[in-house]
Structure 1
Amino acid sequence: MMQIVKHPKKVEWAKLLQRPVMDSSSLEASVKNILFEVKANGDEALKRFATIFDKVSVPELQVTEAEITSALALVSNELKEAIQLAKKNIETFHAIQTTAAAKIETMPGVVCWRKAVAIEKVGLYIPGGTAPLFSTILMLAVPAKIAGCKEIILCTPPAKDGSINAAILYTAQLCGITKIYKTGGAQAIAAMAYGTETIPQVYKIFGPGNQYVTAAKQLVQKDGVAIDMPAGPSEVCVMADETANPVFVAADLLSQAEHGVDSQVLLVSTSEQLINNTAAEMDKQLGALPRKELAAKALENSKAVLVNNVDEMIELVNTYAAEHLIISCSNDEVIAERITNAGSMFLGNYSPESAGDYASGTNHTLPTNGYARAYSGVSVDSFVKKITVQKLSLEGLKNIGKAVVTMAEAEGLQAHANAIKKRMESK
């Protein structure tokens, strides 16, 4: 179960807050080989890797319309309604993220502005494996559609019988995605990065995955393909004081631990009683979980940290930079104002991480492994690039011309200076 650490000194924080570390050298070598094979052999390599890794034969990589249609009947009306509700909330939250840029006159006759342009071709990776994450389709496809991306493709690994999870197919078609491909892991990232006979090449790749997927995303970035963010195993940090409910806190910690053995769970509290009660409650709840073996393994890397006061709790949490941060404290909004490093925050006793994972409206594709110090989660902006524009009148050119010439000549770039001078001399 969770290790309990009481009143650690600051010099111990770095070691205490370390994420589980994996040897990446052998991993990177095997991923590089997969990328090379897909780049060289396209569809043939994808089908071969499906046999090796997924233990499945995939005669056709693209999901057919018939497969999509038959999958729709397999999804219960209750689940369809839940997915539709989540989609509506995600659309509502993300729609306000599109704002028209104003034209700014920096000085008379010099007008500058930014033009937002959707990234034309994007690829979405949706994990299958132990948990087919159809919710991630909503989190990626909805903002992509709002941004106006022209081509959105989706790759996801097939089951042992060659099928794709029905909820994944239902959600994809609900979001207007028709190009769905049966390929997973690092090979799917390679297919989207380089293109194959069947799968089109994209300009930016989105979506979570295991360590192979993450390594592949970081490697294809070196070849000029953009990625959403570096994202490793999922994690949650819960800040809790004596007003928190240990039953709720235990449920939140376990909801993260059940993702996988490499998930990380951290509880930071000013109350020793809350920590003890939560640990006892976790024991009780864990036994009833279908994925209890996975969760128990994840909890081996997890810690509960007792600190002296709220200020220390905030400092420790900002040092950790959690993907998900739950603030179960009496003055949650005041504390939230002082949080500088987190992917997404959940305030109060009635805001579980699960709400944001599925249906509150915020995005669940978030920076992990401390990247929340510098990265945001996915938003409409993730699917957009901004092109700056300027237009100068003759008056504007005269107003800045002398300064530009002086600066260009000081840098020894005479042709830059001449581009201004020639225009001035022509009038």
Structure 2
Amino acid sequence: MHPALHKTEHLVIIGNGMAGHRLVEALLERPDRPARITVIGDESAAAYNRILLSPWLAGEMEREALTLREATWYADQGIELVLGERVTSIECAHHRLTTDAGRILDYHRLVLATGSRPTMPAVPGIELAGVHGFRDLEDVATLTEAAGQGGHAVVIGGGLLGLEAAEGLRKTGQSKGPGLDVSLLQRSSRLMNRHLDATAADLLEAELVSRGLRIHTEARLAALEGDKAGRVVAIHLEDGRRLAADCVVVAAGITPNAELGQRAGLDVDRAIVVDDTLTTSDASIHALGECCQFEGTTYGLVEPIWRQVEVLAAALCGDDVAGYREQPSATKLKISGISLFAFGPTEAAPGHEVLAYHDPEQGDYRRLLLRDGRLEGAILYGDTAMGPWLFTQAQAGSDLTACRQALLLGSADADALLDAHHTGTDSDTLDRPVKEAA
């Protein structure tokens, strides 16, 4: 356990995104919360759920559904909320910060939750009008308008965010305009190559193509072409192909917003470096979420950030802190009508036992990687109901040898076999055949 930090009197949180807001919620649950809390966000809207940007773009929900808390809620909780202002400088020696509106605030403790921005490829034409990211409300509003005009859109990036952006654009273009021809570029030979094996990626690609998306794998961007007005009209690939593009969406990774911390003199590598209490090189300043780096790792998924929040909330309230530790995370795709759940290695390694089930007619695929009876990785496409149970077993390091023959069937079957094994019950009546492939 780490020694408790001194309880915070005035806490200033820079960033009203999901990480900063989650920290506010966690602090409000504690009786020993900081006496005064100020939250500064550079967007004009109060905190909202960025995870739901893609279904909002697709027209599957209303804007109001994204809001985490209305601005009035902060005042009701005694929290000062400053929106539409960007912090431009931090004077660490004086515990003071300044915003672009000239506002000056003193703090006892400061949390940087400044998030990230899309990583823009260093290719000619990337600065052209019509080239967008996919990170905030303004991006979605712009893309919705572009989709309604029809034409050609190109999404760069075949990971989670790129797939969600491409499908959202396709659906919006279909429902609000003359239709939008959407192409998706993936540098790798398969979609979601960091999370899926070839079989699952092929199933995903086939489904997206059947919906009308054009998928280009092993597609490396060389340049963007603009017209005389400085607006994008096409993209060029390294293999010589030219694709028409009235709109380009870059969703090929994120860059931590660490510049504010760097200007303040904090230790910065790829992001703002923190220890296991989320404390930076300045003992009064913490960093949280996508803008921070812990033991060489940066963040783009919410699960580890939520764990960071719990650690930091305790530290800010003066409690003993066990310290943040890295843990595996599972991946889920947020596209309507497609269920996908994956964690662990994408490819089998020496010593892995591979269990697999594939039903092409139903579009179901499951592949598990075990080592010495313990689950190390899983890919589920189609029927993903067992995903959370499998993930729990993997995190616990459970020996699943006793229920090996039921692992592809469902958690109830597997639990029954485990229970039978632990109680010594004859489990022959629980066995069912399982399709298996190495």
Q: What is the TM-score normalised by the length of structure 1?
A: 0.25
More helix by share: 1
Q: Which has the higher contact order (CA 8 A, sep 6+)?
A: 1
More strand by share: 2
